[in-house]
Amino acid sequence: MSTPVQPFVPATVYMTEDSDAAMVAQCRAGDRRAFERLLARYERQIFNVAYRMLHHREDAIDVTQTVFLKVYEHLDRYDPAQRFFSWIYRIAVNESVDALNGRQRTISALDEEAVAADHERPDEAAEQRQLDAGMQSALMAIKVEYRTLIVLKHLQECSYEEIASILECPVKTVKSRLFTARQALRDLLASRGWA
């Protein structure tokens, strides 16, 4: 059996994605498109951190905007030895906490509209909305430091080490606080007849 002759040598295509460090370096060299790529990469995560911390869509938008402006403004202070991921998350957490502290109004209604509705069946979507609303309401009722841990671990799927890097504390402290946070959430949900 003869080997088929290829009319040309197929090109090898490598789909490479710039590392955060490379994009930050490009930003610092004045490449605005690199910043746009960083924004595209992180806007979803940062908006979700802010939204879950604040449970308010407009405030989360404001915080996300402030986070990226701060990143842009302070890129010259960013230490490449640390992960960009940890740095931007830290800014997001701090800005969210600041926004919570500066809140003048009372959030009277759950901001349910923002929750994604990618369910095919209406009953599934309704169930998901109910779950989201219940858990978000519980999150808002526990201490903000506990909420931070829960958001980073369960909603952002960060490891203990990543959370420790974001919050600049030892892994042991992260574990201990996370356990306490889950206990607090459990106690609260139990009091609401959920758990």
Partner 1 sequence: MVDQRTIELIHAEIDGELDAQGLAELEQRLQVSARARELQLELRKISQALDRMSAVPVPAGLRQRVLDSGTAHPLKLRARRPRGRRLALALAAGIVFAAVTFVLLETPSSALRTGQLAATMVPPAQGVPAPALIERRLSGPTLDGVVALHPSGGNWQLSFDLRSAEPVIVTLAYDATLVRLNARGQAESGAGIFTVAPGSIGFVSIGSQHRVFEIEGDRGGALQVRLEASGQVLQDLQLDIPDGVGEP
**Which residues of the shown chain bind partner 1 in the complex (CB under 8 A)?**
27-30, 32, 35-36, 39-40, 43-44, 47-48, 51-52, 57-58, 60-62, 64-66, 68-70, 72-73, 75-76, 102, 114-116, 118, 128, 131-132, 134-136, 150, 153-155, 160, 175, 178-179, 182-183, 185-186, 189-190, 195
Q: How far is the CB of 86 from partner 1 (least distance, A)?
A: 19
Q: Is 188 left (phi over 0), alpha (psi -120 to 50) or beta?
A: alpha
Taking alpha carbons only, the member of 4, 14, 92 closest to residue 47 is 92
Q: How far is the CB of 186 from partner 1 (least distance, A)?
A: 6
Using the CB atoms, write b or e for 24-55: b if 16+ within 10 Å.
Answer: bebbeeeeeebbebbeebbeebbbbbbbbbbb
Residue with Cβ nearer partner 1 (2 or 128): 128
8-state DSSP, 76: G
Residue with Cβ nearer partner 1 (65 or 100): 65
Burial of 147 (0-12, 13-18, 19+ CB in 10 A): buried
Residue with Cβ nearer partner 1 (18 or 65): 65
Residue with Cβ nearer partner 1 (2 or 104): 104
Q: How far is the CB of 83 from partner 1 (least distance, A)?
A: 20
